[in-house]
Amino acid sequence: MERALGLDLLAGPRGGVTPRVPDADAAPLPLGLYVHLPWCARKCPYCDFNSYVDNRGPPFRRYIGRVLVDLDQELRALAARRPLASIFIGGGTPSLFPGPRIQELLDGIRSRMVLEPGVEITLEVNPGRVDADRFAAYRAAGVNRLSIGVQSLSAAQLLRLGRLHDPTQARRALVTARAVGFENVNLDMMFALPEQTLAEAASDLEALIELEPEHISYYQLTLEPNTPFRACPPRLPNGDLAADMAAQGLERLSQAGYCQYEVSAHARSGSICRHNRNYWRFGDYLGIGAGAHGKLTWTATGAGPWCIQRTAKRCHPLRYLAVRPGLLVERRRILTEQDCVIEFALNALRLTQGFELTLFSQVTGLPWQRIARTFETAAQDGLLILGTDRLVPTALGRNFLDDLVSRFA
Protein backbone atom coordinates (compact mmCIF):
# COMPACT_ATOMS: atom_id res chain seq x y z
CA MET A 1 0.00 0.00 0.00
CA GLU A 2 0.89 3.66 -0.13
CA ARG A 3 2.82 3.51 3.12
CA ALA A 4 4.32 6.22 5.24
CA LEU A 5 5.98 4.38 8.05
CA GLY A 6 9.43 5.64 7.17
CA LEU A 7 12.29 3.32 6.37
CA ASP A 8 13.36 0.70 8.90
CA LEU A 9 17.00 1.72 8.85
CA LEU A 10 17.51 1.43 12.58
CA ALA A 11 20.16 -0.66 14.21
CA GLY A 12 22.02 -0.58 17.47
CA PRO A 13 20.96 -0.69 21.12
CA ARG A 14 17.36 -1.32 22.04
CA GLY A 15 15.51 -0.03 25.06
CA GLY A 16 14.71 3.27 26.68
CA VAL A 17 18.21 4.78 26.88
CA THR A 18 18.11 8.31 25.46
CA PRO A 19 21.27 9.62 23.79
CA ARG A 20 22.23 13.16 24.63
CA VAL A 21 21.16 15.34 21.73
CA PRO A 22 21.80 19.09 21.52
CA ASP A 23 18.62 21.16 21.47
CA ALA A 24 19.88 23.41 18.71
CA ASP A 25 17.82 25.56 16.38
CA ALA A 26 15.35 23.51 14.37
CA ALA A 27 16.60 22.50 10.96
CA PRO A 28 14.97 24.36 8.04
CA LEU A 29 13.37 21.17 6.73
CA PRO A 30 9.74 20.29 6.08
CA LEU A 31 8.20 18.33 8.94
CA GLY A 32 5.64 15.55 8.55
CA LEU A 33 3.75 13.50 11.12
CA TYR A 34 3.02 9.80 10.72
CA VAL A 35 0.34 8.23 12.96
CA HIS A 36 0.15 4.42 13.07
CA LEU A 37 -3.20 2.77 13.84
CA PRO A 38 -2.22 -0.91 13.98
CA TRP A 39 -5.42 -2.98 13.84
CA CYS A 40 -6.96 -4.83 10.89
CA ALA A 41 -10.15 -6.86 10.53
CA ARG A 42 -7.99 -9.62 9.01
CA LYS A 43 -4.31 -9.96 8.23
CA CYS A 44 -3.59 -10.32 4.50
CA PRO A 45 -1.21 -13.21 3.64
CA TYR A 46 1.26 -10.93 1.82
CA CYS A 47 1.38 -8.18 4.47
CA ASP A 48 4.47 -7.66 6.63
CA PHE A 49 3.37 -4.36 8.16
CA ASN A 50 2.98 -3.87 11.89
CA SER A 51 -0.69 -4.81 12.09
CA TYR A 52 -2.82 -6.99 14.38
CA VAL A 53 -6.28 -8.51 14.65
CA ASP A 54 -8.25 -7.95 17.87
CA ASN A 55 -11.47 -9.96 17.76
CA ARG A 56 -12.66 -8.37 20.99
CA GLY A 57 -12.54 -4.91 19.43
CA PRO A 58 -9.56 -2.54 19.52
CA PRO A 59 -9.43 -0.03 22.41
CA PHE A 60 -9.97 2.95 20.11
CA ARG A 61 -10.36 5.71 22.70
CA ARG A 62 -7.53 4.49 24.90
CA TYR A 63 -5.21 4.15 21.96
CA ILE A 64 -5.86 7.68 20.66
CA GLY A 65 -5.16 8.99 24.16
CA ARG A 66 -1.82 7.17 24.21
CA VAL A 67 -0.90 8.41 20.72
CA LEU A 68 -1.38 12.00 21.89
CA VAL A 69 0.80 11.32 24.92
CA ASP A 70 3.35 9.95 22.48
CA LEU A 71 3.19 13.24 20.57
CA ASP A 72 3.72 15.16 23.80
CA GLN A 73 6.91 13.16 24.34
CA GLU A 74 8.10 13.95 20.81
CA LEU A 75 7.49 17.67 21.31
CA ARG A 76 9.90 17.79 24.22
CA ALA A 77 12.58 18.13 21.53
CA LEU A 78 12.94 21.70 20.28
CA ALA A 79 13.63 20.45 16.75
CA ALA A 80 10.14 18.88 16.68
CA ARG A 81 8.39 22.19 17.30
CA ARG A 82 7.95 23.20 13.69
CA PRO A 83 4.83 23.70 11.60
CA LEU A 84 3.49 20.47 10.12
CA ALA A 85 3.41 20.24 6.33
CA SER A 86 1.63 16.86 6.27
CA ILE A 87 -0.06 14.24 8.41
CA PHE A 88 -0.39 10.62 7.30
CA ILE A 89 -2.64 8.23 9.24
CA GLY A 90 -1.67 4.69 8.26
CA GLY A 91 -1.90 1.15 9.53
CA GLY A 92 -3.25 -1.43 9.84
CA THR A 93 -6.65 -0.26 8.73
CA PRO A 94 -7.26 3.27 10.03
CA SER A 95 -10.81 3.18 8.67
CA LEU A 96 -11.66 0.75 11.47
CA PHE A 97 -11.55 3.79 13.75
CA PRO A 98 -14.89 5.63 14.02
CA GLY A 99 -15.13 9.27 12.99
CA PRO A 100 -15.18 10.72 16.54
CA ARG A 101 -11.83 9.06 17.32
CA ILE A 102 -10.21 10.51 14.17
CA GLN A 103 -11.71 13.88 15.15
CA GLU A 104 -10.20 13.50 18.63
CA LEU A 105 -6.82 12.60 17.12
CA LEU A 106 -6.69 15.56 14.73
CA ASP A 107 -8.05 18.00 17.32
CA GLY A 108 -5.31 16.83 19.68
CA ILE A 109 -2.63 17.36 17.04
CA ARG A 110 -3.97 20.83 16.18
CA SER A 111 -3.97 21.84 19.85
CA ARG A 112 -0.30 20.88 20.19
CA MET A 113 1.25 21.91 16.88
CA VAL A 114 1.03 24.59 14.22
CA LEU A 115 -0.24 23.29 10.88
CA GLU A 116 0.94 24.93 7.69
CA PRO A 117 -1.77 26.48 5.49
CA GLY A 118 -3.16 23.80 3.20
CA VAL A 119 -1.62 20.98 5.24
CA GLU A 120 -2.06 17.58 3.57
CA ILE A 121 -3.89 15.10 5.85
CA THR A 122 -4.09 11.53 4.48
CA LEU A 123 -5.99 8.58 5.91
CA GLU A 124 -5.70 5.00 4.63
CA VAL A 125 -8.95 3.21 3.91
CA ASN A 126 -9.99 -0.40 3.32
CA PRO A 127 -12.82 -0.46 0.74
CA GLY A 128 -14.77 -3.02 2.75
CA ARG A 129 -14.75 -1.03 6.00
CA VAL A 130 -16.33 2.30 5.04
CA ASP A 131 -19.71 3.94 4.55
CA ALA A 132 -20.92 7.43 3.70
CA ASP A 133 -21.36 8.52 7.32
CA ARG A 134 -17.86 7.43 8.25
CA PHE A 135 -16.32 9.11 5.21
CA ALA A 136 -18.23 12.30 5.98
CA ALA A 137 -16.98 12.21 9.57
CA TYR A 138 -13.38 11.85 8.40
CA ARG A 139 -13.83 14.80 6.05
CA ALA A 140 -15.38 16.91 8.82
CA ALA A 141 -12.46 16.03 11.11
CA GLY A 142 -10.05 17.58 8.60
CA VAL A 143 -8.87 14.65 6.48
CA ASN A 144 -8.44 15.99 2.93
CA ARG A 145 -6.79 13.04 1.18
CA LEU A 146 -7.76 9.36 1.15
CA SER A 147 -5.58 6.40 0.21
CA ILE A 148 -7.79 3.44 -0.69
CA GLY A 149 -6.27 -0.05 -0.72
CA VAL A 150 -7.90 -1.47 -3.84
CA GLN A 151 -4.96 -3.82 -4.76
CA SER A 152 -6.94 -5.37 -7.65
CA LEU A 153 -10.28 -5.04 -9.40
CA SER A 154 -10.38 -8.75 -10.22
CA ALA A 155 -12.68 -10.75 -7.95
CA ALA A 156 -10.51 -13.86 -8.34
CA GLN A 157 -7.33 -11.99 -7.45
CA LEU A 158 -8.90 -10.33 -4.42
CA LEU A 159 -9.79 -13.78 -3.11
CA ARG A 160 -6.24 -15.02 -3.70
CA LEU A 161 -4.88 -11.98 -1.88
CA GLY A 162 -7.10 -12.56 1.12
CA ARG A 163 -8.84 -9.20 0.78
CA LEU A 164 -12.20 -8.65 2.48
CA HIS A 165 -13.70 -6.49 -0.26
CA ASP A 166 -14.84 -7.22 -3.80
CA PRO A 167 -14.55 -5.05 -6.96
CA THR A 168 -17.98 -3.51 -6.45
CA GLN A 169 -17.06 -2.35 -2.94
CA ALA A 170 -13.80 -0.91 -4.22
CA ARG A 171 -15.61 1.17 -6.84
CA ARG A 172 -18.29 2.17 -4.36
CA ALA A 173 -15.63 3.42 -1.92
CA LEU A 174 -14.39 5.96 -4.45
CA VAL A 175 -17.93 7.05 -5.39
CA THR A 176 -18.72 7.53 -1.70
CA ALA A 177 -15.53 9.51 -1.14
CA ARG A 178 -16.41 11.85 -3.99
CA ALA A 179 -19.95 12.27 -2.72
CA VAL A 180 -18.81 13.60 0.66
CA GLY A 181 -16.27 16.00 -0.82
CA PHE A 182 -12.91 14.24 -1.20
CA GLU A 183 -11.10 15.70 -4.21
CA ASN A 184 -7.71 14.09 -3.62
CA VAL A 185 -7.71 10.28 -3.62
CA ASN A 186 -4.98 7.68 -4.08
CA LEU A 187 -5.77 4.15 -5.22
CA ASP A 188 -3.33 1.29 -4.58
CA MET A 189 -2.91 -1.53 -7.10
CA MET A 190 -0.46 -4.44 -7.28
CA PHE A 191 0.77 -6.38 -10.29
CA ALA A 192 2.58 -9.70 -10.75
CA LEU A 193 -0.21 -11.33 -8.76
CA PRO A 194 -0.67 -15.11 -8.42
CA GLU A 195 -1.05 -16.69 -11.88
CA GLN A 196 -1.63 -13.26 -13.45
CA THR A 197 -1.02 -12.92 -17.19
CA LEU A 198 0.26 -9.84 -18.99
CA ALA A 199 -3.18 -9.20 -20.46
CA GLU A 200 -4.84 -9.57 -17.05
CA ALA A 201 -2.44 -7.06 -15.49
CA ALA A 202 -3.21 -4.60 -18.30
CA SER A 203 -6.96 -5.08 -17.87
CA ASP A 204 -6.74 -4.62 -14.10
CA LEU A 205 -4.83 -1.36 -14.43
CA GLU A 206 -7.18 -0.10 -17.14
CA ALA A 207 -10.14 -0.64 -14.83
CA LEU A 208 -8.35 1.38 -12.13
CA ILE A 209 -7.52 4.25 -14.49
CA GLU A 210 -11.18 4.42 -15.54
CA LEU A 211 -11.99 5.43 -11.94
CA GLU A 212 -9.91 8.60 -12.47
CA PRO A 213 -8.19 8.95 -9.09
CA GLU A 214 -5.76 11.83 -8.64
CA HIS A 215 -2.96 9.50 -7.57
CA ILE A 216 -2.10 5.83 -8.22
CA SER A 217 0.39 3.69 -6.31
CA TYR A 218 1.32 0.83 -8.65
CA TYR A 219 3.75 -1.74 -7.34
CA GLN A 220 4.82 -5.35 -7.65
CA LEU A 221 3.66 -8.00 -5.20
CA THR A 222 6.70 -9.32 -3.34
CA LEU A 223 7.01 -12.23 -0.93
CA GLU A 224 8.08 -10.61 2.33
CA PRO A 225 9.72 -12.53 5.20
CA ASN A 226 7.48 -13.82 8.00
CA THR A 227 4.30 -13.80 5.92
CA PRO A 228 2.04 -16.72 4.93
CA PHE A 229 2.83 -16.08 1.27
CA ARG A 230 6.55 -16.45 2.00
CA ALA A 231 5.98 -19.65 3.98
CA CYS A 232 3.73 -21.13 1.28
CA PRO A 233 4.41 -19.19 -1.92
CA PRO A 234 1.69 -18.84 -4.53
CA ARG A 235 2.57 -19.26 -8.18
CA LEU A 236 3.77 -15.81 -9.28
CA PRO A 237 4.86 -14.52 -12.71
CA ASN A 238 8.57 -15.00 -13.36
CA GLY A 239 10.99 -12.07 -13.36
CA ASP A 240 10.78 -11.38 -17.09
CA LEU A 241 6.99 -11.38 -17.10
CA ALA A 242 6.87 -9.13 -14.01
CA ALA A 243 9.24 -6.72 -15.77
CA ASP A 244 6.98 -6.68 -18.81
CA MET A 245 4.00 -5.92 -16.58
CA ALA A 246 5.87 -3.03 -14.98
CA ALA A 247 6.89 -1.60 -18.35
CA GLN A 248 3.39 -1.80 -19.85
CA GLY A 249 1.96 -0.28 -16.68
CA LEU A 250 4.33 2.68 -16.77
CA GLU A 251 3.52 3.34 -20.41
CA ARG A 252 -0.24 3.17 -19.86
CA LEU A 253 -0.15 5.39 -16.76
CA SER A 254 1.84 7.99 -18.66
CA GLN A 255 -0.63 7.88 -21.55
CA ALA A 256 -3.45 8.43 -19.06
CA GLY A 257 -1.83 11.60 -17.71
CA TYR A 258 -0.15 10.22 -14.60
CA CYS A 259 3.41 11.42 -14.05
CA GLN A 260 5.71 8.93 -12.34
CA TYR A 261 7.56 10.91 -9.68
CA GLU A 262 8.80 7.98 -7.58
CA VAL A 263 9.41 4.28 -8.24
CA SER A 264 5.80 3.25 -7.59
CA ALA A 265 3.99 6.61 -7.33
CA HIS A 266 2.06 8.26 -10.18
CA ALA A 267 0.12 11.50 -9.94
CA ARG A 268 -1.88 13.89 -12.03
CA SER A 269 -0.82 17.54 -11.98
CA GLY A 270 -0.85 19.00 -8.47
CA SER A 271 -1.56 15.68 -6.76
CA ILE A 272 1.87 14.43 -5.67
CA CYS A 273 1.75 13.01 -2.14
CA ARG A 274 3.63 15.68 -0.20
CA HIS A 275 4.11 13.45 2.82
CA ASN A 276 5.85 10.66 0.94
CA ARG A 277 7.81 13.09 -1.22
CA ASN A 278 9.25 14.49 2.00
CA TYR A 279 10.56 10.98 2.83
CA TRP A 280 12.28 10.63 -0.53
CA ARG A 281 13.89 14.06 -0.12
CA PHE A 282 15.33 12.95 3.25
CA GLY A 283 13.09 15.34 5.15
CA ASP A 284 12.07 15.08 8.80
CA TYR A 285 8.99 13.40 10.24
CA LEU A 286 7.67 12.48 13.66
CA GLY A 287 6.32 8.96 14.11
CA ILE A 288 3.68 8.26 16.76
CA GLY A 289 1.78 5.06 17.45
CA ALA A 290 2.81 1.43 17.83
CA GLY A 291 5.84 0.65 15.64
CA ALA A 292 5.96 4.12 14.06
CA HIS A 293 9.32 5.38 12.83
CA GLY A 294 10.59 8.93 12.95
CA LYS A 295 13.54 11.02 11.75
CA LEU A 296 14.53 14.34 13.28
CA THR A 297 17.41 16.72 12.56
CA TRP A 298 19.14 19.19 14.82
CA THR A 299 21.31 21.73 13.02
CA ALA A 300 24.62 22.74 14.54
CA THR A 301 24.97 25.89 16.63
CA GLY A 302 28.38 27.28 15.87
CA ALA A 303 31.04 24.66 15.22
CA GLY A 304 30.20 20.98 15.13
CA PRO A 305 28.24 18.52 12.98
CA TRP A 306 24.51 18.20 12.63
CA CYS A 307 22.68 15.54 14.59
CA ILE A 308 20.17 13.32 12.72
CA GLN A 309 18.28 10.78 14.80
CA ARG A 310 16.03 7.86 13.82
CA THR A 311 13.58 6.35 16.29
CA ALA A 312 11.09 3.48 16.36
CA LYS A 313 8.27 3.03 18.85
CA ARG A 314 7.36 -0.22 20.58
CA CYS A 315 5.69 -2.45 18.02
CA HIS A 316 2.95 -4.41 19.74
CA PRO A 317 -0.02 -2.19 20.60
CA LEU A 318 -0.59 -3.82 24.01
CA ARG A 319 3.03 -3.21 24.99
CA TYR A 320 2.82 0.29 23.54
CA LEU A 321 -0.24 0.96 25.71
CA ALA A 322 1.30 -0.57 28.83
CA VAL A 323 4.72 1.11 29.15
CA ARG A 324 5.43 4.43 30.82
CA PRO A 325 5.40 7.40 28.41
CA GLY A 326 9.16 7.79 28.70
CA LEU A 327 9.67 4.24 27.42
CA LEU A 328 7.59 4.41 24.25
CA VAL A 329 10.74 4.56 22.10
CA GLU A 330 12.11 1.06 21.53
CA ARG A 331 15.07 1.94 19.31
CA ARG A 332 17.16 5.02 18.67
CA ARG A 333 20.08 5.65 16.41
CA ILE A 334 22.15 8.74 15.70
CA LEU A 335 23.24 8.63 12.06
CA THR A 336 26.92 8.69 11.26
CA GLU A 337 28.23 10.69 8.31
CA GLN A 338 28.35 7.50 6.25
CA ASP A 339 24.78 6.62 7.31
CA CYS A 340 23.63 10.00 6.01
CA VAL A 341 25.33 9.42 2.67
CA ILE A 342 23.80 5.96 2.17
CA GLU A 343 20.33 6.87 3.40
CA PHE A 344 20.19 10.04 1.34
CA ALA A 345 21.05 8.01 -1.77
CA LEU A 346 18.59 5.26 -0.85
CA ASN A 347 15.78 7.80 -0.65
CA ALA A 348 16.54 10.55 -3.14
CA LEU A 349 17.45 8.23 -6.00
CA ARG A 350 13.89 6.88 -5.96
CA LEU A 351 12.72 10.25 -7.32
CA THR A 352 12.36 9.71 -11.04
CA GLN A 353 12.64 13.42 -11.78
CA GLY A 354 15.75 13.71 -9.66
CA PHE A 355 16.71 16.45 -7.23
CA GLU A 356 18.66 19.68 -7.06
CA LEU A 357 22.36 19.28 -6.16
CA THR A 358 21.99 21.63 -3.20
CA LEU A 359 19.52 19.22 -1.52
CA PHE A 360 22.24 16.96 -0.10
CA SER A 361 23.83 19.73 1.95
CA GLN A 362 20.45 21.19 2.91
CA VAL A 363 19.29 17.96 4.56
CA THR A 364 22.57 16.52 5.91
CA GLY A 365 24.79 19.51 6.62
CA LEU A 366 27.57 17.79 4.66
CA PRO A 367 29.36 19.27 1.63
CA TRP A 368 28.39 18.08 -1.85
CA GLN A 369 32.01 17.08 -2.38
CA ARG A 370 31.42 14.22 0.06
CA ILE A 371 29.43 12.33 -2.62
CA ALA A 372 30.29 14.19 -5.82
CA ARG A 373 32.80 11.65 -7.11
CA THR A 374 30.39 8.73 -6.72
CA PHE A 375 27.71 10.55 -8.69
CA GLU A 376 30.20 11.55 -11.37
CA THR A 377 31.23 7.91 -11.84
CA ALA A 378 27.59 6.79 -11.98
CA ALA A 379 26.93 9.43 -14.64
CA GLN A 380 29.85 8.14 -16.70
CA ASP A 381 28.30 4.67 -16.48
CA GLY A 382 24.97 5.93 -17.82
CA LEU A 383 23.04 5.49 -14.55
CA LEU A 384 22.14 9.15 -14.15
CA ILE A 385 22.36 12.57 -15.78
CA LEU A 386 24.43 15.04 -13.76
CA GLY A 387 23.76 18.64 -14.74
CA THR A 388 25.14 21.87 -13.35
CA ASP A 389 22.40 22.15 -10.74
CA ARG A 390 20.33 18.94 -10.91
CA LEU A 391 20.72 15.17 -10.94
CA VAL A 392 18.23 12.82 -12.64
CA PRO A 393 18.43 8.98 -12.69
CA THR A 394 18.25 7.49 -16.18
CA ALA A 395 15.95 4.60 -17.09
CA LEU A 396 18.99 2.32 -16.69
CA GLY A 397 19.69 3.76 -13.24
CA ARG A 398 16.07 3.28 -12.16
CA ASN A 399 16.12 -0.33 -13.38
CA PHE A 400 19.30 -1.02 -11.41
CA LEU A 401 18.54 1.17 -8.41
CA ASP A 402 19.95 -1.28 -5.86
CA ASP A 403 23.25 -1.40 -7.71
CA LEU A 404 23.32 2.38 -7.95
CA VAL A 405 22.67 2.86 -4.23
CA SER A 406 25.26 0.21 -3.29
CA ARG A 407 27.99 2.46 -4.75
CA PHE A 408 27.54 4.78 -1.79
CA ALA A 409 28.43 2.04 0.68
Residue 330 lies in a domain: no
What b/e sequence results for 110-121 when a residue is b if at least 16 CB atoms lie within 10 Å of its CB, and e otherwise? eeebebeeebbb
Question: Are residue 253 and residue 352 in the same domain, yes or no?
Answer: no
Residue 323 lies in a domain: no
Average pLDDT over residues 197-218: 98
Give me the count of residues in the chain: 409
Question: Are residue 158 and residue 76 in the same domain, yes or no?
Answer: yes
Taking the C-alpha atoms of residue 2 and residue 213, their distance in angstroms, rounded to an integer, is 14
pLDDT attached to residue 81 = 94
pTM for this prediction: 0.93
**Confidence category of residue 14, pLDDT binned at 50, 70, 90:** very low
Average model confidence (pLDDT) across the chain: 92
Number of domains the chain is built from: 2
The whole-angstrom distance between residue 132's C-alpha and the CA centroid of its chain comes to 26
- Taking only the tens place, the pLDDT of each residue in 170-185 is 999 999 999 999 999 9
Question: Are residue 257 and residue 343 in the same domain, yes or no?
Answer: no
Question: Are residue 250 and residue 381 in the same domain, yes or no?
Answer: no
Question: Are residue 246 and residue 361 in the same domain, yes or no?
Answer: no
**Confidence category of residue 11, pLDDT binned at 50, 70, 90:** very low
- Among 78, 62, 67, 58, residue whose Cα is nearest residue 33: 67
Question: Are residue 163 and residue 87 in the same domain, yes or no?
Answer: yes
- pLDDT at 26 exceeding the cut of 70: no
Residue 112 lies in a domain: yes
- The answer to whether the bond into 382 is cis (omega within 30° of 0) is no
CATH classification at residue 377: 1.10.10.920
pLDDT attached to residue 303 = 53
Taking the C-alpha atoms of residue 31 and residue 275, their distance in angstroms, rounded to an integer, is 9
Alpha-carbon separation of residue 343 from 118, 186, 347, 362, 376 (angstroms): 29, 26, 6, 14, 18
Residue 96 lies in a domain: yes
Average pLDDT over residues 245-262: 98
The answer to whether residues 148 and 173 touch, using CB atoms and an 8 Å cutoff, is: yes
pLDDT attached to residue 7 = 46
What range does the domain containing 218 cover? 31-278
pLDDT attached to residue 9 = 52
Residue where a domain stops, chosen among 247, 278, 309: 278
Residue 3 lies in a domain: no
Residue 291 lies in a domain: no
**Confidence category of residue 306, pLDDT binned at 50, 70, 90:** confident
CB-facing half-sphere around the CA of 356: CA atoms within 13 A: 5
CATH classification at residue 232: 3.20.20.70
Question: Are residue 99 and residue 206 in the same domain, yes or no?
Answer: yes
Residue 222 lies in a domain: yes
Q: Kindly report the backbone phi and psi dihedral angles of residue 401, in degrees, each rounded to the nearest multiple of 5, phi listed first.
A: -60, -40
- pLDDT at 20 exceeding the cut of 80: no
Residue 370 lies in a domain: yes
Question: Are residue 143 and residue 67 in the same domain, yes or no?
Answer: yes
DSSP 328-392: -EEEEEEPPHHHHHHHHHHHHTTBTT-EETTHHHHHH---THHHHHHHHHHHHTTSEEE-SSEEE
